[in-house]
């Protein structure tokens, strides 16, 4: 347990009232950010992309599944990952299926992308027990066009990425062993949410956000923030079938 104070009910209430003011300011700023997000210009997607899915080849427009909005999470699972997807991304993926029924009824299709070949995605999806559509961008320019992946040259040009590759902390070395990839390959995948809209027969890119933005995190982390429990440094993330018994 983290260090904590012990006080009276009156002391707790005074501190809680002060925190409530900060939470109200945070919520107000959040509403402003949401409005600014919805005001972003839409960019028409002109290039034709073909993706591998469990049902065969599909275009970007076909991934909407008849709806007008497409929201996709890009799971870090590159062609060089020999042992499976990023454990942190897998944590988040575990929590997506339950939201799909609500998004579908609000005209939003939710899927996931990864750059590994489709047969490996299907096998990993079965291992994790996921139900959402899992789409492979393998062999396409799509992840590079939309910033969901980096070329080896691009990775070396970004100081933060290059430094993590050259001087990895211990937890990152552990992560590399978990996915079975060299860091120079593993860190080229971008954990991101990306959104598209379809209108009058055209597809538009509307939004992208990448970790470490709080939105690109397992939802249970938001629940932990409402408890006094401090999140431990280790393990940073476990796949659900790898928790110690």
pLDDT value of position 224: 80
Determine the structural domain holding residue 219 and report its residue range: 43-149+189-224
Q: What CATH number is given to the structural domain containing 76?
A: 3.40.30.10
pLDDT value of position 56: 97
pTM reported for the whole predicted model: 0.92
Q: In b/e form, how buried is each residue of 136-164, taking b as 16+ CB within 10 angstroms?
A: bbbeeebbeebebbbeeeebeeeeebeeb
Q: Specify if 61 maps to a domain.
A: yes
Q: What is the mean pLDDT of residues 99-113?
A: 97
- Of the listed ranges 90-94, 190-194, 208-212, 228-232, the least confidently predicted one is 228-232
Domain count, the chain: 1
Q: Specify if 27 maps to a domain.
A: no
Q: Specify if 123 maps to a domain.
A: yes
Tell me how far apart the alpha carbons of residues 215 and 99 are, in angstroms, rounded to a whole number. 14
pLDDT value of position 94: 95
Q: Specify if 83 maps to a domain.
A: yes
Q: Specify if 58 maps to a domain.
A: yes
Tell me how far apart the alpha carbons of residues 132 and 119 are, in angstroms, rounded to a whole number. 15
DSSP 69: E
Per-residue pLDDT of 200-243, as tens digits, reads 999 999 999 998 888 888 878 878 888 887 665 555 678 999 98
Per-residue pLDDT of 65-76, as tens digits, reads 999 999 999 999
pLDDT value of position 214: 81
pLDDT value of position 236: 64
Residue 2 pLDDT greater than 70, yes or no: no
Element (H, E) at 165: helix 159-166
């Amino acid at each position: 347990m983290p260090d904590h104070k012990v006080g009276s009910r009156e002391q707790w209430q005074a501190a809680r009232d002060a925190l409530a003011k900060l939470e109200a300011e945070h919520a107000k700023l959040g509403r402003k950010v949401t409005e600014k997000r919805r005001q972003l210009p839409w960019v028409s997607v002109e290039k034709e992309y073909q993706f591998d899915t469990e049902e065969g080849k599909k275009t970007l427009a076909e991934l909407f599944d008849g709806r007008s909005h497409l929201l996709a999470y890009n799971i870090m699972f590159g062609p060089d990952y020999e042992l499976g997807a990023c454990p942190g991304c897998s944590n988040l993926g575990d929590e997506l299926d339950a939201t799909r029924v609500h998004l579908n009824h609000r005209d939003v299709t939710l899927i996931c992308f990864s750059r590994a070949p489709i047969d490996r995605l299907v096998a990993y999806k079965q291992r994790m027990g996921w139900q959402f559509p899992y789409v492979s961008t393998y062999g396409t320019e799509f992840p590079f066009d939309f910033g969901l992946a980096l070329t080896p040259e691009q990775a070396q040009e970004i100081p933060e990425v290059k430094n993590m590759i050259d001087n990895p902390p211990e937890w990152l070395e552990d992560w590399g062993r978990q996915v079975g990839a060299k860091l120079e390959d593993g860190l080229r995948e971008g954990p991101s949410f990306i959104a598209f809209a379809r209108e009058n027969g055209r597809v538009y890119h509307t939004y992208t956000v990448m970790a470490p933005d709080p939105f690109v995190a397992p939802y249970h982390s938001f629940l932990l923030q409402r408890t006094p429990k401090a999140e431990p440094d280790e393990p940073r993330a476990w796949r659900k079938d790898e928790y110690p018994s």
